[in-house]
Structure 1
Amino acid sequence: MRDIAKEVYDKMKVGAAAWIRPVAAKGDTIESFQSAYDSAKALADEELIQIVKVQRKDGQIEAIRIQRLA
């Protein structure tokens, strides 16, 4: 399983903000995307990113807004 949060983080510049969303063309589903929040949380715990917003639909995470700190 791919680490969506890490992929987005690697492409960002310091200070930039981005949405993390599942990409159907890469095989992501809302169900499989739930682990992306855990990955983003780990990056936030390391103070590499800040989780700005989490969008939920029917109790499941559908998008995560992050800002790169380092």
Structure 2
Amino acid sequence: MRDIAKEVYTKMKVGSVAWVKPVAAKGDTIESFQGALDSAKLLEEEGLIDVQKVQKQADGLVDAIRILRLA
């Protein structure tokens, strides 16, 4: 399982904002994307990012995460 949140983080510059979303071309599904929120929270605990918004579908599954790179 790839770490989508970490991949997006490494491509960002400090102070920039990005949406983390599943990429169907890379084999991501909404179900497999649920672990990305856990990964983003770990990066937030380390002080590397700030999770600004978590967008959920009507069924409660996370489909996008907005992050700000702090370090």
TM-score normalised to the size of structure 1?
0.99
Rounded to whole Å, the distance in 1 between the matches of 2:45 and 2:64 is 19
Measured on the aligned residues, the alpha-carbon RMSD in Å equals 0.3
Partner of 2:69: 68
Question: What is the percent sequence identity of the aligned residues?
Answer: 71
TM-score normalised to the size of structure 2?
0.98
1:1-70 correspondence to structure 2 within 5 Å: 1-57=1-57, 58-70=59-71
Structure 1 residue 45: Cα displacement? 0.3
Structure 1 residue 37: Cα displacement? 0.3
Structure 1 residue 53: Cα displacement? 0.2
Structure 1 residue 63: Cα displacement? 0.1
Structure 2 unaligned regions, length at least 5: none
Q: Which amino acid aligns with 2:67?
A: I
Rounded to whole Å, the distance in 2 between the matches of 1:56 and 1:4 is 17
Q: Which amino acid aligns with 2:42?
A: A
Q: Which amino acid aligns with 2:48?
A: L
